[in-house]
Amino acid sequence: MRLCTLLRRLFSLLESIARASQSADTRSSTVYQQSQLLVLRVIAMGMFYHWHQIYASHGINSDKPLINLALNNPASGSADAADGDVDDEGADDNGAAAAAAAAASAYQPVGAGFNKGDFNLFYPGPLEEPVAKRAFGIAFEYFRSWISPHSVRLLADTVGNQSRFMFHLRSTHTSQSHPLSSSMMDIAVGTNMLQKFVRACINEPTADMGLEIQEAAGAIFMFVSATNWNIAMQRAKSCLYLVLSRGDEVADLTDIRFLEFATMDISRLAQIIDAFSDVFARVKPAEQLKMAIVLRRTIWGFIARCGGTFIDMHRKSYRPPTNRIEQLMDGLRAIIDSHARSSAHPAYYQLMVMLLMICPDTVSLAAEHAIEHGEAREDGCSKHVRCLARIHQHLTTRDVPEGIVLASQELQRVSAVLTVLPGNNVSRLSDMFEAELNSVLLDSGTRLAPYREEPIDPKLLLISNMACQFQLNPEKALQLFLPRVTSSKSEPWMQLVFVHAVSSALTQRYYLKSINEVAMFNKLVAKLFLDLLRRNVDTIQTISEQQAAGAGAQARSAGYGRRLQGYGSDGAVAGFGTAAR
């Protein structure tokens, strides 16, 4: 059955359930919500499995290819045929070989992924335009209905990811549900993915209905942006230019958050940067802030889904094909400099660093300037080259702005991605920042100056810091942090931070050598976790029972079209802060 035909049927089913739910009573509304989530998951996982089969036809994974690309060449001009034909009876060996040979000529690589070695990235053939637009529209409707209008203002992925930590903790005791897999690596090189995708579809939902619906809608965005980028780019430009027509009204820019999930390669990233630079200087400060947060997340989406290309950029020193990056950095620098007395919003510092990270030539000059000179000297270098040296100088002061810490952590995270390139300039800069960053976060009560409007719990910053250092140098990180966890004076919040940091580090896939392959790390962490469980088993059991009871009550009282109170992105962060204290 063709993918477009299947999608049309699923879209119709989803719309009929949504119509029926409008007249449902409170008791039935939860069932309708779960039914809509199930259909969204089936749509997303069907898209992903189709994409996975494209890679199977190329021989990139070991699954048997079921899509006969030989009969459906995207170059033939038929959008309907480009989906690929799935042979319900299975292809024989000769047919599979012919499909693989046709795929090699029909599909051209768009970049490189990374999984302890490079593999080429391929996009599926384009969906029919009406189907692609309908998919985008449905995903937008659910994404917009179940997201907090203020969630775009979350400062860092450390905060956004905390909702996922709490989600996993609650789902352990309330259901078998897990967030959908949206990793490009799983789609490309995963094995036995049909069974995994089916399990992801039928897992029982938790009380985190809003988060799960966002996951499913984001997965649909990811696929449709890969197949029909022209529609995604048109949506992005419409959102941006609509901001200019709002007059005195401040746009919430919720719709453009789909770029966080969009499938990016280096040329697409350049288009997004061009579009943002066209309007950034002409919008209101509140809108500039939201744009900065979205663009930063878009850059991280490119790194996560096109990691091999990002590594190659730093190996061969080239940048995205656009001359607008400096223009954006000039705008960010002007905003940061205008807040000399009161520190600028941390998002501006984060985006500034990320724009530098996609310009390896500038990073090379910045590393030479910061490491060899050790200060932000006015020696003829551009202000962008001096940026990292200025950030390091701020880390050495007594009251370190929260934005400086977050910018330094961006540098650390990029360094973790680039560990496959020994001695690269980002790693050299990260090593220079490491000691001061640890000092600030381990003494955050006296040295960290929170951003007054949106302070982040220092524990979240410490989790991110630990996780990055476990990836970069696990033995060195254990020598630093273990004494603070095993000491008789160690506080429970520090132990919780350590556990979350280890969990985060173990799930990362960018680095060359997984930390669970380090014998010392396995031995020490396993012993420590057993000790923590023995000392805290009564507390853990009490918290688990409370969370299970609370989540069940929330699920029973949920109404259609509402986010469940206390379980959105903002509520999860607040809940963690309370638990940690």
pLDDT digits (tens, 9 = 90+) for 139-189: 988 888 876 544 433 333 434 444 343 333 333 323 333 345 446 777 877
Answer for the pair 569, 211: CB distance below 8 angstroms, yes or no: yes
> Rounded distance, CA 164 to CA 68, Å?
38
So what's the pLDDT on residue 369? 78
For residue 510, give the nearest of 273, 314, 256, 226 by alpha carbon. 314
So what's the pLDDT on residue 505? 74
Answer for the pair 343, 449: CB distance below 8 angstroms, yes or no: yes
Mean predicted confidence (pLDDT) in 374-380? 55
Identify the weakest region by mean pLDDT among 228-242, 269-283, 449-463: 449-463
How many helices (H) and strands (E) the chain has is answered by 24, 6
Per-residue pLDDT at 54 exceeds 70: yes
Tokens of 478: 């254990």
The residue ranking higher by pLDDT, 541 or 48, is 48
pLDDT band at 557 (very low <50, low <70, confident <90, very high): very low
- To the nearest 10 degrees (0 to 180), the angle between helices 569-580 and 492-507 is 140
The residue ranking higher by pLDDT, 432 or 211, is 432
- Per DSSP, the three-state class of 119 is strand
Mean pLDDT rounded to a whole number for the chain: 74
> Rounded distance, CA 483 to CA 2, Å?
58
Answer for the pair 235, 255: CB distance below 8 angstroms, yes or no: yes
Classify the C-alpha dihedral 24-25-26-30 as positive or negative: negative
So what's the pLDDT on residue 309? 86
Per-residue pLDDT at 111 exceeds 90: no
Q: In sequence order, what are the beta bridge partners of 50?
A: none
Answer for the pair 55, 124: CB distance below 8 angstroms, yes or no: no
Mean predicted confidence (pLDDT) in 393-411? 89
> Rounded distance, CA 488 to CA 374, Å?
39
Write out the H or E segment, with its range, that includes residue 68: strand 67-68
- Identify the DSSP state of 444: H
> Rounded distance, CA 357 to CA 54, Å?
31
pLDDT band at 528 (very low <50, low <70, confident <90, very high): low
Per-residue pLDDT at 537 exceeds 80: no
> Rounded distance, CA 345 to CA 287, Å?
13
Give me the count of residues in the chain.
581
Please report, rounded to a whole number, the percentage of residues in the chain having pLDDT higher than 90: 21
Per-residue pLDDT at 84 exceeds 80: no
